[in-house]
Structure 1
Amino acid sequence: MNQHKKIALLVINCLQGGGAERVVLTLGQGFDQLGYEVHVLRFKPLVEYDLSPNLHYHVLKFKPYKLIPGCERRDKIFARSVDKYISQNIGQPDIILSNLDRTDSILSNSKLPNIIYIIHNTVSLLYKFNKNCDAEQLKKKMVEIYTKHPCVCVSEGAEKDFIKSFGHITPTTAIHNPIDKDSIQKQADAFIPEYQNYIIHVGSFKDAKRHDILIKAYAKTDQSMPLLLLGQGKHKSEIERLVIELGLEKKVVFLGFCDNPFPYIKHAQFKILTSDWEGFALVIAEALALGTPVISTNCPSGPSELLPEINLMPMGDIDTIAEKMRQAMNNPQKFHAPFNESLMPARIAEKYLEFAQRLDFTK
């Protein structure tokens, strides 16, 4: 390893599924393009992505530490092992980026410098602060974690929500997720889908994505284009039942998880998102990188920062969403929007370094 290079370390629980995991790998590529020696440390061996040979990968298994009683005690002990592993196997990183709550909790106990948390979600909605009877206790615990290090939020909406939820407890900034347009365009040419003239939705079947709203709105259109659903998740069987109930079995296609969704996105007439919340809405930016039109609910964080107003729809409004779908089915190009080149990985990595410099991390 070249000892003269600056070191960037990205830490995450695993590299299985999920948008945050993809962001970590893409951001790592951005730091590599800037000449950094890039390391990715995870706590589970699972991997569902092709790994670039330009980055260095490490696994320090958390599983043996599960035998230690007490969550807080367990995380403190494991954090000492993490610090020791980093010092012995990676060196002294110039910047350490912590991703998702499991990792954030562990690194809140780290003694290493230069740590920044990346907040990938709209926290108040993800953790249901308004509906959770234990909300105050949960918020207190999260404040203890997030006061320890500065935070980068993946959208302006996510940053506003973070401050509204916890107050000005630590330095924050908003930096959008990186989008490797060149890689996405290359992956999009891997195959041509067997379907034609279709609508695509990409996302896990979970609360935030509101597949139920999507299906009910689609049922109100003439279904002249089939609706393809890419993803897995806990609500999938429930949505399958709804499709049958509405008599849409021949129009809605469940494609399951696909490790390369980009050919489906590229060849779609348009992409739709009906979420109640997003952190950044990675799938919108990826669709724009492929020139695919997008319509989306104007949910907190993300969509309004990526799309013009004409492409946005009110959350949960089935009739309005159905009308926007009808318009897009008649004229998809009406909802075409340009890709923002400032989202390229090296440009985003530079923004992290600018934030770190303001914090006196990387003089």
Structure 2
Amino acid sequence: MRILQTLTFNKLAGAEKLCIDLCNSLSKEHEVYLLANSGAKKYLNKDVKFIEFSFKDSRYNPFFLYKIAKLINKINPDIIHSHSVKEVEIIHNARFFLNRIVKIVVTKHMVKFKKRLKIADLCVFLLESDDRNLVKNSTVIENGIPYILPNPVKKSDKFSIISEGRLSKPKGHHIIIKALSKVNFDYELSIFGDGEYKDELQKLIDELNLNDKIKIVGFVDNIQDYLASADLQIIASEFESYCLAAIDGIYYSKLMISTPVGVCANVLPPELLYQNSVENLTEKLNEVYENYDKFREIFSKLKPIKDRFGVEKMSEKYIQAYTNLLSPNLASNFKSDKNRMKILHTLHWVQFAGTEKVCVDLCNQMSKNYEVFLLSSQNISPYLEKDVNLVDFDFEHNRYNPLFLYKIAKILSKIKPDIIHCHNTKELEAMHHARIFMKQKIPIIATKHTLRVKKNYKLANLCVAILEDTKEILPPNSLIIKNGMAYKEPKKLPRSDKFYIISSGRLADMKGMDIVINALALVDFDFECHIFGQGEKKDELNALINSLNLSKKVYLKGFVDNINDYLFSSDVQIIASRFEPYGLVAIDGVYYSPLMISTNTGICSQILPRELIFDTSPESLALKLTEIYENYDKFKEIFSKVKSKKDEFSIKNMAQKYIKAYESLLK
């Protein structure tokens, strides 16, 4: 395998050491290149092909990006492995000038998660972390080091202590110095490392009159010799993404104690850990000195696990990660059938709401007879059938960025769809502008899911309105295809004997959930109301419920993926929207609810008789609810006539209409 590593080398610290050790190890069996500053060269073995390069220039400078792309094209690597966020961004942006797209791996060496790590094809974490949920593809590979046989160095008869690491405040060297000023035994401390905090540490040593006991040695390239000769190694870091010094300790030190950070929190027993304060470390040091053999015995039990942290083990895991990334070919994941229409849907995922549900249902239905791809976030995958080819994609980029557009064009060229169906203005613009990089101009159809005027819908070859009102703001040749939904057999849920009311939708002002709550405060019959959905008005609605003393009657239930079961088990569904471009929840009601009432908006204004309509005020709704409660069977009978027409809103019917629209563009 031909592997290109990239490294911004400042000094030989944790990330730099890992990268260099990895290069040296991988080069034994693979062709390895390192793109880095000149300072890294002296640490490499002869088999690593070193290319001097500085990553200091702007990651958006096209001349700089072209320069690095020329290098990558010349090397022609199978994989690129970067070790900082800036390198990832530069390599990613340089893809615009590459002969072919090369997969990018990044190792997260820093503690803080940075959003731009997401643009890598694979993010490697050093330890298990919740941050893995923030990237689309990740794995955990612990750091490793090459074993070097130590040569003991001469030491005095004093209790010998070592601390190693960058001389910065988070490394806690000042905690060690202050703690040692309070211990009740004689010792000598050697601090190994360089950094911006050196003068501060020396000043502290001077103030505490510890110059005869504590020395700042600086950086050495044989730290293993000093660790093997010392009595104790101390790690006092406030935080660590991993802590490579701890692996040095497991390999070479006689005894090591640490704060519960990084890998130390995972491998050290409680007896060898202390909380990060001067007092705690002082107490631990006195305890260790007085019971040294006991603590050495505890630490010795860790020594057998050292092979887990060998550079060979780490290299094997990286090679496996590279191989896994390279083995699935994008095209091989896509089922190909030349006799079927190939349809690409695009969806800018925000949350699973109306537009997202329509797109998903349409993809699932069309995939029964056609070859369907969906360009969207990985978050939508739980809602898709296995026959839908999901291509993980983030539309959160500038739709005029040529690098972003080129990326889209490459994906489209790979898929070769017959038609592109967009569900959002931003997607439409991105797909249209990406045509500049494509030989074939693929027809674009766009569905307008809202009533907000967007002039760029004229970029589509055909626009689809979901209702007559929507068609009025689209180009003259637009079609109307009303939304449908996929039917799921509902289940009866256990419920109380109270009159059971449901309202569902985003917790936003336009959905009118406040109207529902205020109206329920006015009725004089017993009830229980469940409001399903999430949104920005949740806290305000909770406050309203409490202020009206309805906390035992009205409940905000959040999002559920089986709303059909709740509607089927209810007595009435309320839609109190101040405005709806369509109102997909009404179709849920037609399919599942025994009775539904609504304001005069969206699809409800067309399908519901006037007896089931109320004005957008709490008083009007309260009056309607009281009337329904007193004449429930009568209103159920009225709604049953609406339910008899439910097949008009089937997903199958909607999908057939869209297929006809696609075919009209392809003739």
Do Structure 1 and Structure 2 share a fold, with TM-score over 0.5? Answer: yes
Query: What pairs up with 1:220-235 in 2 under 5 angstroms?
Result: 220-235=522-537
Distance 1:49 1:335 in 2: 37
- Confirm or deny: 8 A CA contact 1:225 1:329 kept in the other structure: no
Q: What is the deviation of 1:77? A: 4.0
Give deviations 1:71-98, integer Å, cap 9, x for gaps. Answer: 4533x5423321220221x2232x3210
- Indicate conservation of the 8 Å contact 1:232/1:257, yes or no: yes
The one of 374, 379, 389 aligned to 1:40: 374
- Provide the residue aligned with 2:387 in structure 1: 54
Given that 2:363 and 2:372 are in contact with CA atoms closer than 8 Å, whether structure 1 keeps it comes out as: yes
Q: 1:247 to 1:215 in 2, by over 3 A?
A: same
1:187-336 pair list within 5 angstroms: 188-189=490-491, 192-196=493-497, 197-299=499-601, 301-314=602-615, 316-330=616-630, 331=632, 333-336=636-639
Alpha-carbon shift at residue 214 of structure 1 (Å): 1.5
Q: 2: distance between equivalents of 1:193 and 1:203?
A: 22
Decide whether aligned partners of structure 1 residues 15 and 5 sit closer, same or farther in structure 2, where only a CA change above 3 A counts: farther
CA distance in 2, matches of 1:259, 1:265: 12
The equivalent position to 1:28 in structure 2, one of 363, 366, 379, is 363
Query: What is the aligned-residue RMSD (CA, Å)?
Result: 2.2
CA distance in 1, matches of 2:556, 2:430: 37
Residue number among 454, 468, 472 corresponding to 1:156 in the alignment: 468
Distance 1:49-1:325 versus aligned 2 partners, 3 A rule: farther
Matched, 1:179 2:490: no
Work out the CA distance in 2 between the residues paired with 1:218 and 1:209.
Answer: 16
- What CA distance in whole angstroms lies between the structure 1 residues aligned with 2:575 and 2:638? 13
Match of 1:166 in 2: none
Deviation, structure 1 residue 223: 4.5
Deviation string for 1:297-352 (max 9, x for gaps)? Answer: 002x22122322221122x2222111112222331514523143122222211212
Pair 1:122-2:451 in alignment = yes
Partner Cα separation in structure 1 for residue 604 and residue 424 of structure 2: 21
Gaps of 5+ in 2: 1-335, 436-440
Q: Check conservation: 1:30, 1:347, Cα contact below 8 A.
A: no
Q: Is the 8 A contact 1:205 1:234 kept in 2?
A: yes
Distance 2:607 2:515 in 1: 22
Residues 123/285 of structure 1: CA separation in 2 closer, same or farther (3 Å cut): same
Q: d(CA) in 2 for partners of 1:48 and 1:259?
A: 14
The residue aligned with 1:139 is none
CA distance in 1, matches of 2:506, 2:381: 15
Relative to structure 1, is the Cα distance of residues 12 and 32 closer, same or farther in structure 2, using a 3 angstrom cutoff? same
Instruction: Give 1:113 deviation, angstroms.
Output: 2.2
Moved over 6 A (4+): none
In the alignment, the residues of structure 2 paired with residue 223 and residue 110 of structure 1 have an alpha-carbon distance, to the nearest angstrom, of 59
Q: Is the 8 A contact 2:484 2:651 kept in 1?
A: yes
Q: Which residue of 2 aligns with 1:73?
A: 400
How far off its partner does 1:147 sit?
Answer: 1.1
Equivalent of residue 8 in structure 1, options 326, 340, 343? 343
Aligned residues: 319
Distance 1:275 1:291 in 2: 17
Equivalent residue letter for 2:619: D
- Whose Rg is larger? 2
Return the match for 1:82 from 394, 408, 413. 408
Contact 1:20 1:120 in 2 (8 A): yes
The Cα of 1:18 is off from its aligned counterpart by 0.9
Change (3 A) 1:263 1:202: same
Q: 1:270 to 1:85 in 2, by over 3 A?
A: same
**Other structure's SS at 1:254 match:** strand
Partner of 2:652: 346
Per the TM alignment, residue 48 of structure 1 is displaced from its structure 2 partner at its CA by 7.1
Distance 1:351 1:198, change over 3 A: same
Give the secondary structure class of the aligned counterpart of 2:430: helix
Q: More deviation in 287-296 or 238-247?
A: 287-296
d(CA) in 1 for partners of 2:526, 2:395: 50
AA aligned opposite 1:319? E
Check 1:49–1:170 CA distance in 2 against 1; reply closer, same or farther (3 A cut).
farther
Query: How far apart, in 1, do the equivalents of 2:574 and 2:531 lie?
Result: 10
Q: Contact 2:573–2:593 (CA<8 Å) still a contact in 1?
A: no
Alignment check: 8 A CA contact 1:108 1:146 kept: no
Give CA deviations for 1:224-249 in whole Å, capped at 9, x if unaligned: 22111001110010011111111111
Q: Confirm or deny that 1:147 pairs with 2:458.
A: yes
Tell me the SS of whatever aligns to 1:46: helix
- Check conservation: 1:205, 1:211, Cα contact below 8 A: yes
Partner of 2:169: none
**Is 2:656 the partner of 1:355?**
no
Structure 1 gaps, min length 5: 125-141, 164-168
CA distance in 2 between partners of 1:156 and 1:147 (Å) = 18
Q: Distance in 1 between matches of 2:422 and 2:365?
A: 16
What's the % identity of the aligned pairs? 23
**Shift of the alpha carbon at 1:195?**
4.4
Query: What TM-score does the superposition give when structure 2 sets the normalisation length?
Result: 0.45
- CA displacement, residues 155-210 of structure 1 (integer Å, 9 cap, x when unaligned): 223223x25xxxxx4521211112112xx22xx22x62444541000111012101
CA shift for structure 1 position 123: 1.7
Question: Secondary structure, in 3 states, of the residue corresponding to 1:116?
Answer: strand
